[in-house]
Amino acid sequence: MIGILALQGGVEEHRHSMSRCGAATRPVRRCEDLENICGMILPGGESTTITKLIISSGIGPSVRSLIDAGMPVWGTCAGSILLSRGGIWESADVEMQRNAYGPQRESRIRSGTIKGRLEKIPMVFIRAPRVVNISGDVEVLARADGDMVALRQRNVLLTTFHPELTSETYFADIFMGMVYSRTSQAASKG
């Protein structure tokens, strides 16, 4: 079961994109919703609002323990801010600058490159943050106009754009791969 943080933002779009991959999802609003979750998606929205709602819902510490224990987590746009330095969960060695590309009207589709692929893909940026610094074992998975726009560090996947808004399933597939490898590791340990 994949949990989708459902306090504010683009929850439905992620639910659809996961159902296209055949994954069952559950909206997460309270601690009880975290039961039997094997991966979690943090959608885009407004990171300040989402952070306030996380604090008032009381789920912050439980989600942090799950991430620290290795549960795969995928943050898109505002969700990626929550996982970066200065964000509520700070689970990746990544620094971001919020709203770095300007106001809403500067939101656009850019064409970007995915690691190991020749053809470019369309990437939807909506008041996106810009990755300004990475350290440690952060792997860059995609770039657009030179900017790092998709990153992975261990069980944390970050995209500053919205893969759930296009038909490209590359990032959903990466995330599901992280979930499957974690669940099969857990099964082999008994």
Select 126 or 172, whichever has its Cβ closest to ligand GLN.
126
* 126 interacts with ligand GLN by CB under 6 A: yes
Task: Write phi, then psi, for 57 (nearest 5 degrees).
Answer: -75, -20
Of 23-31, 40-48, 58-66, 131-139, which segment contacts ligand GLN by CB under 6 A? 40-48
Residues 56-85 contacting ligand GLN, CB under 6 A: 77-78, 81
Select 34 or 126, whichever has its Cβ closest to ligand GLN.
126
Of 22-30, 45-53, 112-120, 182-190, which segment contacts ligand GLN by CB under 6 A? 45-53
Select 3 or 79, whichever has its Cβ closest to ligand GLN.
79
d(CA 185, CA 21): 21
**134, 125 contact by CB (below 8 A):** no
CB of 156 to ligand GLN, least distance (A): 17
Per the listing, tokens 């990475």 go with: 134
Eight-class DSSP state of 77: T
**76, 41 contact by CB (below 8 A):** yes
Eight-class DSSP state of 160: S
Q: Determine whether 84 is exposed, middle or buried from the number of CB atoms within 10 Å of its CB (0-12, 13-18, 19+).
A: buried
CB of 47 to ligand GLN, least distance (A): 3
List contacts with ligand GLN (CB under 6 A): 44-47, 77-78, 81, 98-99, 126-127
